[in-house]
Structure 1
């Protein structure tokens, strides 16, 4: 065994292993953790160093690069505690063109966690050409019945290409397809950027409007003129009260 019953363990998590063998040398293993934690510890570790964004520039045509950084560090309010670090990427990893978030989660023995995040940005040197929008939706109109004040609208997402092959384009939009829009006109904006920060923009409107119907009512009221000229200007002796147009929204 790695430890015996009654051993003193420090704060944190320690793996205990028992290897049990028979006379023929066949072995079975039992493993478990001994976890020593401070009672009532609800304070996460304090990040004492977290790297800033890391930018690596490569020549045109190169699609990836190795990025390195100094590892984040942290302290805890409980002395001698073993801090546990789980990261999305390690220093020395190869990153593709574009922006990649790197996350370090640092936990103490009580499970309290602090997080350090930064970006690794791989850019193509000399790239000043923005992406090319190859599809941008036209204005989208949706009609609703009277009394309805909003509607859900969907559309095909804009698409773009870039002059640098295999580049990771980043899209930031004001609204996503499937959003609920209020009555009226709302501007939707998509900003699409390449790894060098060059940006192209796609804009269109979402228009939510009530369905309105128009009908005309003809008056049935007539009068007989008392003079040679009718009150409506006609000489046929008939009075035409005219028509009245009404516009209303459908119910």
Structure 2
């Protein structure tokens, strides 16, 4: 009996267990996200998904892409699913982020060599560096300095940088070498010809070092040697009769060199210079002595140039009455002496005539300080003396205070005759950089001339006066009035005249607007009234525009179409458009 009960209970328990249902889905645990970086175009991503279930213990999740798959740069969403034996489905999602960490590859050119030429710089151009990237295309490298600029002498490093869309930076650099291949510019002195006294064995010849310029070096090394000699040339050169060639070479720090030559010719010279004196001079004087001046004699030589002369007595010396002989000499480098002579004849003249002193007209000068320094010229003529000089008090160029100053100029000839003249100098103070002009017409108005001729310069202001009368349907009149500084009364008068004209014009238009004419019959009707320029005559929707004119029309002829107006009571209105 007991065994039958146990068997029944076992069967019932087995039936309960077999009849129970599983409605719980598996639980999947995904990573929050998978973040990886790459220097290529893709990367491998790995992850672990855990699955738990209330019944099953060996459930495996299946994802869109398996762990260990290759992912391109960017973001990918992964979904994973798992089901238990009862068919319950669970899922989870996560993101795989692949970040670009690959720097662009930038390939620079090699060393670029450029020559300076005649300047100390060279313009250098290069092709853009070649740029490649794991993801981005058409990247451009930016170089500093840029291609096409001028580089100074020496070596300069050029840095080039390229940046991709992810902010990764690639770079390279190269060197620009600017070398100096331009030789110095050297200019030797002119050939030198020296005459030597035949009784002298050797002669000293002074020569000038060449002028040297270089595009880089300030003072290139320069040496001069006599041709076929190794030693450096002496200064001065001690030479016998003959022709000698000298070569001068300039060399810069880059090793570039240039050479020029010149010749020194030493000649036995026994020919004296030719000296040409002034013609004989006749001078009148009213005194016991007189200063006599003349031009230097002209000298020429078979070898030497620019020889000097000396005379006895010298030009400007005092001569007494009577005849005197002036002897002039010139000596060349070979000690050959040339000479000439001329006469100075001083004649006494009794002089009782005063010289004539001519002063300038009264003058004015302007200054922005407290003093002025005007200048002027005074002319003196005399019946005997050729060089009489006037003395002024104050002198020309002296400091003058603001105001009026009288200047007195006087002159005395050798006979003691004298003359004088006076004029006035007015110094004007101009404030804030004002301008004033000197005038020689004797005006004393402080501005160098007649007051009526003065010019006043000032800025003018243009004002626009616009009046509108919309109620009467009249056009506005824009008046541009130029109001100058200091012309207020003139502007006011002009404004009153323009306002009167404006009201008259508006009143006239109102009269024209209100007038009508009756057409008595079909045909032509003459309407007489003052009609202004640019006026329309309207009738029954038709209008006739009067031609433009500078004056006023006395009348207008209106022709009415017969098909439009058959009655005798039509009206024609005349108004201004």
**TM-score bracket relative to the smaller structure:** 0.3 to 0.5
Q: Which has the higher strand share?
A: 1
What TM-score does the superposition give when structure 2 sets the normalisation length?
Answer: 0.16
What TM-score does the superposition give when structure 1 sets the normalisation length?
Answer: 0.35
- Structure with greater contact order relative to length (CA < 8 Å, sep ≥ 6): 1
Highest CA radius of gyration, 1 or 2? 2
